[in-house]
Amino acid sequence: MPLAKIDIETIRSLSIPERRFVVWKGGLPRLRNIGGSCVFLDKDTNMCTIYPYRPIGCRLYPLVYVSGEGVTVDRLCPLREQVLKSITEEKKRLLISFLKRLEEDWGINIRL
């Protein structure tokens, strides 16, 4: 999951060191995964341990941007067909706004 600067600042404000949750890949900081799961996933409860402070991308999931397709629902989402029917223009705008923020924060081009 890509992270905006505000995401990193928010999580660091919880006294969690950046090295514990950030991994850089493709010019973007991303949430670290351990064993295929987010570092903040509690395996016993299957819940996010920082839920009220979760990153923007987590808040928008399962919406994703696919080049050539635009805003859609992650193919791995088990409720994909149901969620596809409920995507609003506002949710699409929020995802595009997040992607633009990533471009500004990290000086990259996402090709929207």
In tens, the pLDDT along 20-59 reads 999 999 999 999 999 999 999 999 999 999 999 999 999 9
**Phi and psi, residue 17, nearest 5°:** -65, 140
Q: pTM here?
A: 0.92
CA torsion sign, 43 to 74 to 58 to 67?
positive
